[in-house]
Structure 1
Amino acid sequence: MVEKKEKRRGLGRGLSALMADLDTVETASVPDPEASDDAPRRPDLLVPIDHIEPNPDQPRRTFDGEPLEELANSIAHRGVIQPLIVRPHPEKNEHYQIVAGERRWRAAQMAQLHELPVVVRAFDDTEMLEVAIIENIQRADLNPVDEAAGYRQLMDRFGHTQEQMAEALGKSRSHIANSLRLLNLPQDVLSWLGRGQLTAGHARALVANENASDLAKKIIAKNLSVRETEALVRKPKDARAPRPRKSDAEKDADTRALEQDLSGALGLPVTIDHKQEGQSGRISISYKSLEELDEICQLLSRGLG
């Protein structure tokens, strides 16, 4: 099993080692004037801007116009504070491909700079993509959908676990787990979330709800808060004829005993709604905090593994 995981990852360098190359990458949309006392990393080279090309596999495809103009104005007055991370172009001599810093490269073009400071790293194609994903995740202005997609890419493409990412990226495991859950939402809800019409708090309340799209439309139309959204999600589907919940008295002894056994094993309330007329039903596990949800996710993950 260990050999299989190592092969899947396919990298000689660890995630934390790759992170070290991003210590100097700016994460704010506009450089902080108050941060100018921090000494920037000394560049390896000053390279003509037309000798630098973007990463063809850059995961981030959209660059918002207004923040880019603000960055361009800052660069025009102060220059590029932090160098770009690049690698030698695999096909062109004295040319380079951007590993991290495409926003600065685009803004520098708008500011009509002729040269850019760079730090050169000998990344292969796989490492280059991995660093690009990590840089995007670190961005302060990244929307929740892109952040979750970045975590998913790191897991699927490179075999990183949630624990590895949490440690290397300085995030809690529950944050990463809850972020990944957002990707289960319908595409239209993800679009609204990505455009900022919904917050991550709104979206988390809609995960696993079969009426997520309709509820999201109501949330946007009525400008509901997260608390109001949670109350809306808890409402019965048909307020005029709410489905009666089966009481414990109506359940058979075996079902109640099984509920108690599962609740004791998990340490959380478990409810079993078994259809008397058939062999199907539903199991519900209740939690009161994100930490309890994280524990449930870990238990299920170990069971699936």
Structure 2
Amino acid sequence: MQTAISGLPLAPPAWKPAILCHVTRKFAEIDLAFLERSPQRRGRPLPYPAPEQIATARRTGAVRPLIVRPVARGTFEAYEILDGEDSWMLAQAAGIALVPAYIRHDLSDAQAQALTAQMPAGDPDPMRRAAALDDLLQPAQGPRKTKAALARELGCSRTALSHHLRLRHLDPQVQAWIQRGELAAGHGRALASLPAEAQRALAARALRQRPRASVRAVERWARASRQGHPVHGEEIRPSCTNPPPEDPDLARLERSLGEHIGSPVRIAFDGRTGQGTLQVQFADLEVLEGVLEKLGYQR
């Protein structure tokens, strides 16, 4: 090999630095604060990491690279995630501040949409999702995040985030039923504010019914339990033997309004006078703040 007079190897051919510069321009480590979900992915389930994945990432300090493209955000440049949401979520849970990413400046909107469409669906396990969100609230490094701050990062409402986290308050047996798909997350949210014994009793009652009791029915049972009606085994002693039949139009309106504001609602209407009441349920003050925010109330 030829050497320079100093004894050091000659400089590499001129094309090598050009390739290195090309790679450097396309690949970088990006701070989590400058990454955001693609608008094409908003509303879809997030890929929450499993505990063993988080442990490995913390041990190695590394995650797989993302594919991103720059987007203008006022006076600074952010990066839209086109592929690798799982790495983004894993980095947050493991406390890794910088993540590797391929930066694509040359993609059209159609190409970017095609990339986001091929990302795998999020984790359907509600309990693992709740555990991962809990981990994101308390990163391995740095202070604990507020629910409002985490909701902004994930592109969801604070109310929706609080509903997911409520599942962490469930009895382990009820959590296991949800993990196996025997109960839905909605059943769990309806039971989360009850004592563990009442949770197990009402969940078992829901499972005994064929078909399985609806979320709405479990909400009624939970409301009766909170009002002091004792739970006996798998049954609640009702306040009356023949409750009035539900108006299907009111029931549909209750569901629609509850989904809009993120909390269960109850409408009582007197057809003779045209008067009625609207009752909004909330699990804690943070959920109430989210409901008021949805209604446009500002203090």
The TM-score with structure 1 as length reference comes to: 0.41
Query: Which has more helix, going by share of residues?
Result: 1
TM-score, with structure 2 as normaliser: 0.42
Q: Which has the higher contact order (CA 8 A, sep 6+)?
A: 1
